[in-house]
Amino acid sequence: MKLKLYISLVFSFITFLVNAQDNIITATVSKNKLGVNQRLRVTFAIKKQGGDNFKAPNFNNFKIVGGPSQAISQSYKNGKLSFSQSYSYILQPKRKGELNIGAASIEMNGKTIKSNPVKIIVLDAVDLPKNPNDPNYIANQNIHLVAEISKSNPYVGEGIYVEFRLYFSENVGIYDNAITEAPQYNGFWNQEIKRNGTPVKMGKYNGERYRYAVLHKALLIPTKDGKLTIDPIKMDIIVAVPTGRADFFGNAITRQVRKEFASAKKIVRAKALPLENKPEDFTGAVGEFSFDVSLSKHTLKANESSQIKVAVNGKGNLKLFELPKIETPKELEVYHPERKEKVAITSSGLKGNVTDSYTVVPEFKGKYKIPKTSFSYFNPKEKVYQTITTDDLYVDVLEGKSLPTNNDANQVTKQDVKVTGDNFRYIQTASSLEPISTSDFFKTPLYYVLLLLPIIAIPVGIFINKKKEERDGDIVGNKLRKADKLAKKYLSEAQKQLGNKEAFYEALERALHNYLKAKLGVETSDISRDKITDLLQNKQIDNTTIKSFIDVLNDCDFARYTPITNVQMKEEYEKAKQVITQLDKQL
């Protein structure tokens, strides 16, 4: 047993040493697949100082078009010395097929260390520009803007995500980039997925090694079936392209060109939900959910309130369907439900819970049954409809008025007539009349008041009318007052929720979207921030006001997941009120 362990350790150590030596010199190519009339760059990189007698491989089946070009770099950072030396060749294949670039070698500490061999696939000739060294051509060959979707044929209501990536090879550099046209998601409910910066990662594009950065990522939920198109994203990029020449120190000389790149259109074919076995109470829920109906108090007194909580929890299109309505006995007074949403946006869809809370107040004592409630949804993984039914709930009211019955309401009590001496008195047939003393209205105080009232009312009316005309002529002031009144109208619900963070920011965001919906006639909740910016710019709104509006929307998203004080909520309310006022003035 000990002998086997010893042999295993020795073998592992030898393997480690071999791998460590193999990593000293590595071979990389600019492309693994090319046409027979194209060229590629092969670079042999040495990561350790002290190597001698570099020997390039015998490039059989390749023609050396350029090179070798040598580059050396050495730096000292944080107490560590880093060294890099490379030899590069420009090659052109002589024939089609699967070709190999052999291993290069160097001598280090009396040992010969070799690089890894590289396999190249050579295809038929391709169309080339007149000048293969044209910087624009090189930029197009080394930079690719790509849209990737997680699923191309989802069901209606099923969440997918789209990710826009910028791939760029190690042969070029990027100095500046800007998105000139944001993607459009017609036929989708969409929401941007927040990311922490845009780190550069390593990956493969068409089988070749590339660096890439994720520019934009969004959650998409199809709202209709059929062929849906994701429009491209467009960018302006400044690219540093190698010229094939090197400076005095062996560093490659580059040339900067500005190019516009666009991703290809993506097609999503959304499938309609099946009609077979579709429940009657289905309202569009798609995903994986749990459902529950609970009662905060089962025993209470008359006029004492209880809460009925209807909750759906899980992952799916949580914001795009209605929760089931509960049925209660008519003897229970039920108020309109309060909606609460605690939903997070992830790559796999919306995740969290949606709740309706009903306030119930009984008037009469007794025991009341709240019938069972069912909730149906479509599970896209299992491709079936599923229904969850809750149990009956009972409310026991111990104290209060008794519930009146039909017999009590219709019963007439019969009593005997009691005769007394005054019940049927003799009706008097004669009367004695006397004159009524009257006072004269003429010259009374009330007479003079009513006489002078019109005379006093005329100048008062003239004064009020003059003030009204001045107020009506104040166009700026009227716009401000009207805008302020409109802002208070839309923000009234948010003002009621001050102190309740989640409800406040949900109401605040809903108020901003409802305002734009009323003013612009579009469903702004279904479009991106960039689209809202375009709509407002088309209405000639100044950029400062647009930025303030977008900032409030972004703050609503950010604040739901961070600690917020009441003072901050009041400041956010005033900021929203001010931005609506400014928008209404300009609209």
Using one digit for the tens of pLDDT, what is the confidence trace for 339-363?
888 988 877 678 999 999 988 888 7
Q: Which two tokens stand for residue 383?
A: 């491709």
Q: Identify which has the larger pLDDT, 441 or 37.
A: 37
Instruction: Report the pLDDT value the prediction gives residue 525, as an integer from 0 to 100.
Output: 60
**Coil, strand or helix at 139:** helix
How far is the C-alpha of 322 from the C-alpha of 302, rounded, in Å?
31
pLDDT in tens, 224-273: 999 999 888 888 888 887 776 766 666 667 778 888 888 888 899 999 99
Q: Is the pLDDT of residue 75 over 80?
A: no
Looking only at the bridges linking them, the beta strands covering 33-35 and 118-123 are: parallel
Read off the pLDDT of each residue in 96-101 and give the average, rounded to a whole number. 86
Of all residues in the chain, what percent carry a pLDDT higher than 70? 79
Asked if residues 160 and 149 have their Cβ atoms less than 8 Å apart, the reply is yes
Instruction: Report the pLDDT value the prediction gives residue 18, as an integer from 0 to 100.
Output: 44
pTM: 0.51
Instruction: Report the pLDDT value the prediction gives residue 412, as an integer from 0 to 100.
Output: 46
How far is the C-alpha of 326 from the C-alpha of 358, rounded, in Å?
9
Read off the pLDDT of each residue in 570-585 and give the average, rounded to a whole number. 81
Asked if residues 175 and 256 have their Cβ atoms less than 8 Å apart, the reply is yes
Cβ neighbour number for residue 278 with a 10 Å cutoff: 12
Instruction: Report the pLDDT value the prediction gives residue 476, as an integer from 0 to 100.
Output: 56
Instruction: Report the pLDDT value the prediction gives residue 251, as an integer from 0 to 100.
Output: 66
Read off the pLDDT of each residue in 171-192 and give the average, rounded to a whole number. 83
How far is the C-alpha of 545 from the C-alpha of 551, rounded, in Å?
10
pLDDT in tens, 410-451: 444 445 545 455 554 555 566 666 665 556 667 788 778 888
Instruction: Report the pLDDT value the prediction gives residue 12, as an integer from 0 to 100.
Output: 47
User: At 293, is the pLDDT very low, low, confident or very high (cuts 50, 70, 90)?
Assistant: very high
Query: Residue 19 pairs with which residues in a beta bridge?
Result: none
Mean of pLDDT over the chain? 78
User: At 516, is the pLDDT very low, low, confident or very high (cuts 50, 70, 90)?
Assistant: confident
User: At 485, is the pLDDT very low, low, confident or very high (cuts 50, 70, 90)?
Assistant: low
Distances (CA, A) of 586 to 169, 540, 542: 47, 8, 8
Read off the pLDDT of each residue in 199-207 and give the average, rounded to a whole number. 80
How far is the C-alpha of 46 from the C-alpha of 54, rounded, in Å?
10
Q: Is the pLDDT of residue 147 over 80?
A: yes
3-state secondary structure 462-477: HHHHHHHHHHHHCHHH
Read off the pLDDT of each residue in 86-113 and give the average, rounded to a whole number. 85
Read off the pLDDT of each residue in 493-522 and give the average, rounded to a whole number. 76
Q: Please list, residue by residue across 486-509, b when 16 or more beta carbons sit within 10 angstroms of its beta carbon and e when fewer do.
A: bbeebbebbeebbeebebbbbbbb
pLDDT in tens, 546-564: 888 888 877 777 776 666 7
Q: Is the pLDDT of residue 493 over 50?
A: yes
Instruction: Report the pLDDT value the prediction gives residue 131, as an integer from 0 to 100.
Output: 64
Instruction: Report the pLDDT value the prediction gives residue 434, as an integer from 0 to 100.
Output: 65
Q: Could you write out the DSSP letters of every residue in 12-30?
A: HHHHHHHHHHHTTEEEEES
> Is cis: bond before 68, omega within 30 of 0?
yes
Q: Could you write out the DSSP letters of every residue in 59-120?
A: -TTEEEEEEEEEEEEEEEETTEEEEEEEEEEEEEESSSEEEEE---EEEETTEEEE---EEE
Read off the pLDDT of each residue in 365-388 and give the average, rounded to a whole number. 90
Q: Is the pLDDT of residue 106 over 70?
A: yes
User: At 315, is the pLDDT very low, low, confident or very high (cuts 50, 70, 90)?
Assistant: very high
How far is the C-alpha of 541 from the C-alpha of 534, rounded, in Å?
10
Q: Identify which has the larger pLDDT, 100 or 14.
A: 100
Residue (of 50, 54, 138) closest to 90 by Cα position? 138
User: At 204, is the pLDDT very low, low, confident or very high (cuts 50, 70, 90)?
Assistant: confident
Asked if residues 179 and 234 have their Cβ atoms less than 8 Å apart, the reply is yes
Residue 405 DSSP code: P
**Most confident of the ranges 217-226, 250-259, 392-401:** 217-226
Instruction: Report the pLDDT value the prediction gives residue 486, as an integer from 0 to 100.
Output: 59
Q: Is the pLDDT of residue 31 over 70?
A: yes
How far is the C-alpha of 64 from the C-alpha of 42, rounded, in Å?
11
Q: Identify which has the larger pLDDT, 128 or 240.
A: 240
Q: Rounded to a whole number, what is the distance in angstroms from the first to the last CA of the chain?
A: 86
Instruction: Report the pLDDT value the prediction gives residue 433, as an integer from 0 to 100.
Output: 63
Instruction: Report the pLDDT value the prediction gives residue 76, as an integer from 0 to 100.
Output: 64
Distances (CA, A) of 558 to 89, 135, 391, 516: 51, 43, 38, 21
User: At 388, is the pLDDT very low, low, confident or very high (cuts 50, 70, 90)?
Assistant: very high
Asked if residues 49 and 72 have their Cβ atoms less than 8 Å apart, the reply is no
Of all residues in the chain, what percent carry a pLDDT higher than 90? 10
Domains recognised in the chain with CATH numbers: 25-123 (2.60.40.740), 135-270 (2.60.40), 287-401 (2.60.40.740), 475-586 (1.20.120.330)
Instruction: Report the pLDDT value the prediction gives residue 409, as an integer from 0 to 100.
Output: 45
Read off the pLDDT of each residue in 23-32 and give the average, rounded to a whole number. 80
User: At 129, is the pLDDT very low, low, confident or very high (cuts 50, 70, 90)?
Assistant: low
* Residues sharing a CB contact under 8 Å with residue 479, sequence separation 6 or more, in sequence order: 584, 585
